[in-house]
Amino acid sequence: MKHTVKIVALFVALLTVSSCKEGYLDINKNPNDATSSTPDLILSAALNATAAGMINPNEIGHFWAGQWSPSGSVSGFNPEKTYDLPSNFRTGVWTQAYDNLSDYDVIEQAATTSKQPAFVGIAKVMKAFVFQRLVDTYGNVPYTEALKGTAILRPKYDDAQAIYDDLSKQLDAAVTNLKTPLTAENPSPGASDIVFAGDMGKWVRFANTLKLRLMLRQTNIAAKEATIKAEITKAAGNGGFLAAGENALASPGYLKTAGKQNPFYENYGFTAAGTLSGNHDFYTNADFFITFLSNNVDPRLPRFATLNNAGKYVGVPFGDGNDAYLYAKTSGFGPAILKGFDQKQVLMQSAESFFLQAEAAQRGYLTGSAKTLFESGVTESFKFLEVPDAVKAAAAYAADAVPIRNFDASPNKLEAIITQKWVALGAFEGFEAWTEYRRTGFPKVPISTRAVGTKQPARFLYPNQELGTNEANVKAQGTISQFDTKIFWMK
């Protein structure tokens, strides 16, 4: 049976995930107060904040992409399950993003003044990374007048498409900066770079991969076809994309100390003392995800999930939450998901890079074999999850003449690519999985069993606190529906 203490624990947990609070390597206390420091001293904390800030949007993404579900051991999650979103729903997605963006803006300005293009480039890449997520969550958001501190307290909202167009330009500028030779005057970020340890080539490829993601997001817009192809071609020839083994992972030096462990591990796994975290039993794998992996005899299943107390793989139909789905009766997060207090936090997997390239090739935007790129994506996913004998296992999986697994056997190649990307994103990049579902409709995620209607959410509502501090600009966006006010790139 469910207990009151678990409801209280859930409330505390959700505050922890959704709030913008001080934490490990925290910088800002107030996003309107500028941070004053040198770029190298700010960068580690800014990158760490980005990684930690992805937990909130990824969690809801995993829910709505059919990968995760609350277990029957917890009450609550009513907005997530019903899609009836209150105005204060997951406000941390907004506040943490703008707080984090202000840090990168300080880095960019300081590094521009001190003529350190390596830092300028990284700051531009990460601003594009965070701003794209904001647009993909809310549509129109403050952009050109954002990050101005007390100079502009009520920034206007920019058109989402226009923001995307400028982010593409910013990524080009970032690559130019990142390609500037390192010298005493333009020092390597070195240890302050907790993602690529100062490897500018990887930052270039990460920037280009983000641009590839940005361009492919717009494939439903016929008028953008020529631009998409031209920009992807340019990125491919200007340093290329993240390659095999080039996962973008944040590792600031997590410690087995409360508040300094990997935030994902500490939130969903175990405390520094080795006991179950307060949230551990609240989250589990969704029935849709477990069933897909089981039906496809996927070797990644035991890496993603654990056996339940009856020795079976069992997920929860999203929306359900009765005692039949108590945590112990379901398949919780597996050994590849909860590795340890010092596991690295995912920004982007190399598997995603290959699936993006596969889609681009299939659509005729890139030269090369879509099949080969697809199979490389599968292999990278197996490797990242540490499937035993990963390369051989991935080859056998992709060679089996079964649609979705085997490229040639799949009548809809794009569905195969997106679905395999969805598997790879499981437990790591839930926001991207949900976003790609909104763009493509793949895979065919079932609606919540407690949905208030027949539609799945298309977006978030603007936070109530934004309405309180920037009312005129929020109201200028018109009446917003989480179901019918679609992000510009949706069908």
Residue 280 forms part of a structural domain: no
Confidence of residue 110 (pLDDT cuts 50, 70, 90): very high
Residue 327 forms part of a structural domain: no
Confidence of residue 242 (pLDDT cuts 50, 70, 90): very high
The SS3 of residue 347 is: strand
Residue 318 forms part of a structural domain: no
CATH number at residue 407: 1.25.40.390
Confidence of residue 175 (pLDDT cuts 50, 70, 90): very high
How big is the CA angle at 16 (ends 13 and 18), to the nearest 5 degrees? 105
DSSP letter for each residue of 220-261? T-GGGHHHHHHHHHHHHHTT----TT--EEE-S---SSTTTS
For the segment 43-48, the average pLDDT, to the nearest whole number, is 97
Q: Beta strands of 57-184 (E only): which ranges?
A: 68-70, 141-142, 157-158
Quick one: pLDDT at residue 3? 36
- Cβ neighbours of residue 217 under 8 Å, at least 6 residues apart? 132, 136, 164, 435, 439, 489
Sign of CA dihedral 134, 136, 138, 142: positive
Residue 209 forms part of a structural domain: yes
pLDDT tens digits for range 52-83: 999 999 999 999 999 999 999 999 999 999 99
Cβ atoms within 10 Å, residue 481: 14
Confidence of residue 37 (pLDDT cuts 50, 70, 90): confident
For a pLDDT cut of 90, what percent of the chain falls above it? 92
Structural contact between residues 315 and 288, judged by C-beta atoms closer than 8 angstroms? yes
Alpha helices in 270-369 (DSSP H): 287-295, 301-304, 350-362
Residue 56 forms part of a structural domain: yes
Mean pLDDT of the chain: 93
Residue 17 has pLDDT above 60, yes or no: no
Residue 233 has pLDDT above 50, yes or no: yes
pLDDT tens digits for range 324-364: 999 999 999 999 999 999 999 999 999 999 999 999 999 99
- Cα gap 9→157, rounded to integer Å: 37
Quick one: pLDDT at residue 36? 57
Q: Beta strands of 273-411 (E only): which ranges?
A: 283-285, 345-348
Residue 180 forms part of a structural domain: yes
HSE-CB at 49 with a 13 A cutoff on CA atoms is 30
CA 5 to chain centre: 31
State the residue range of the domain holding 86: 4-255+342-475
pLDDT tens digits for range 355-395: 999 999 999 999 999 999 999 999 999 999 999 999 999 99
Residue 89 has pLDDT above 90, yes or no: yes
pLDDT tens digits for range 180-210: 999 999 999 999 999 999 999 999 999 999 9
Residue 306 forms part of a structural domain: no
Quick one: pLDDT at residue 235? 98
Residue 247 has pLDDT above 90, yes or no: yes
Among the listed residues 322, 313, 315, 381, the one whose alpha carbon sits nearest the alpha carbon of residue 346: 381
For the segment 145-155, the average pLDDT, to the nearest whole number, is 96
AA letter at 206: F
Residue 290 forms part of a structural domain: no
Quick one: pLDDT at residue 87? 86
For the chain, what is the domain count? Answer: 1
Helix, strand, coil tally for the chain in percent (to 5):
50, 5, 45
Burial of residue 333, with CB atoms counted within 10 A of its CB: 0-12 exposed, 13-18 middle, 19 or more buried? buried
Residue 23 has pLDDT above 60, yes or no: no
- Cα gap 405→200, rounded to integer Å: 35
User: What pTM does this model have?
Assistant: 0.93
